[in-house]
Structure 1
């Protein structure tokens, strides 16, 4: 398994000899509701679109997961597996091979299996997706939930090798955490006993502007989470990759075989 962190929630996963582009934001700024005064993020280091993408995986329909300018720039013949909300978006853009996965559903093709689980709540009625991605040959597996809302349903998987999820809390005044790390990340580590965990959502080479950035409160850091792991006698290791740099996840022989 090889991973490349592309800032924010964006990752390139290389698994089962396939390149999977996860929640990509690669082109232009990230803006919510066409209101840059409210929130705007820009890459400080350009992130080129990777070559030879085999699958696009979208956990949510929000712009920081299904970024419209990036999705418009990608080849619309690339297969997409997505939450129903994100699937609707890419179908409207003209993507020709779109699979919507509801919670509990599975997609399997070309040696890769994607399982959908309940993920982050978006408003009172919508719950987006978390994913478990598995190499069907080696059985190497990865769990991804970008806001730290982990459903107990994922315990049915029993074990994954790698988790990608937030390790710190981001909160808004009066509303509380909308990205949960800390104890929430520790819970899913205890459930799935991964060999490695990597932080997502609040990272990368990014410049932020707007009112939202000024009122966000960050609680904790990677070292705090490392202490949580140690205090809980968890053997899971934290990996902290350099953004934009491809690296091999050093899975043990038993985990990767």
Structure 2
């Protein structure tokens, strides 16, 4: 499966130079955004709605925060083949060339994230992000168990990486009775009040800690955050939009 995924990446990510995106009155004008729901099942393989709900509502939330729908794509690998999602990401990157927001929500194992019927390993994700976003300011959010494994592979001066858990910890909320995975729900809870991505990360991490304490979780997930040197200076200037009165 991993070999097939690498072939899909190679086919999807080679293309013509990116075109300029339409200007919007937003600090995120010209940014590519992608929300990818890479699984749709619970731990026993039964279909659940939590991941679908998260993808749908994250799209709406980030549009309200200032991301243009014209340069945003969202995919459910429940219905969209991985190669179609990767091609769509390439097409979106050709329309939005100023920055990247990539958000993945899925299940994870200690050495990979579920990517449809395939696997996304840290090295494959690093290749995807590098070839799609290059030197643009880039925010990568990975919502999955063991997602801290992606931090080292994705680190860079132009990167912010936020994960739902440490590399050796699970995350929670992927059952049939949950509206969202807990981490995704916490991002949605924190985003309306957050001024920027740094505040969003702080709010989401605090929300996860609160939920886990209330549930009596013995080994908390401990979401991880990395911010590169360039992004430390840039992120405070990238403020989210807020609807007018």
Q: TM-score, normalised by structure 1?
A: 0.35
Name the one with the larger strand percent.
1
Normalised to the residue count of structure 2, the TM-score between the two structures is: 0.36
Greater helix proportion: 2
